[in-house]
């Protein structure tokens, strides 16, 4: 099930969420985290920009999504983010948002901004 399609590709297999980005290499191997785990970096000479990706357990991503949603509610940007998300190309998650966007925004009338 894909949420985003294109240079940024986000999909789930039911157990993990996979985030792939065509130019997503962010020099993680040079971070303290990358050096601590001594993970072999990609061969930079092969391609520029370098793609990158990661899989995150669905349960952990669900927790992140709720935390991030709470922040969007707090700062009043739910409507703006819904409008932006509706412009993205995807299938199952995008379709669920299309069906539920007005309902989500109306659940937070004091902070939802932008037209849905």
* Distance in angstroms (rounded) separating the CA atoms of residues 105 and 78: 7
Average pLDDT over residues 87-106: 84
- pLDDT at residue 19 tops 70: yes
- pLDDT at residue 113 tops 60: no
Q: Comparing 98 with 110, which gets the higher pLDDT?
A: 98
* Distance in angstroms (rounded) separating the CA atoms of residues 94 and 14: 16
Q: What count of Cα atoms within 13 Å lies in the side-chain half-sphere of residue 84?
A: 6
Q: Which residues of 41-55 are buried (b: 16+ CB within 10 A; e: fewer)?
A: eeeeeeeeebebeee
Q: What interhelical angle do 78-86 and 92-107 show, nearest 10?
A: 160
pLDDT in tens, 40-73: 766 666 656 778 889 999 999 999 999 999 999 8
């Amino acid at each position: 099930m894909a949420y985003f399609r294109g240079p940024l590709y986000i999909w789930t297999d039911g157990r993990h969420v996979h985030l792939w980005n065509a130019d997503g290499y962010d020099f993680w191997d040079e971070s303290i985290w990358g050096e601590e785990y001594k993970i072999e970096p990609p061969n930079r000479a092969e391609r520029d920009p370098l793609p990158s990706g990661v899989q995150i357990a669905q349960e952990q991503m669900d927790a992140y999504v709720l935390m991030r949603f709470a922040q969007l509610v707090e700062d009043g940007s739910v409507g703006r983010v819904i409008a932006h998300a509706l412009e993205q190309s995807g299938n199952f998650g995008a379709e669920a948002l299309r069906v539920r966007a007005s309902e989500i925004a109306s659940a937070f009338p004091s902070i939802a901004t932008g037209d849905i």
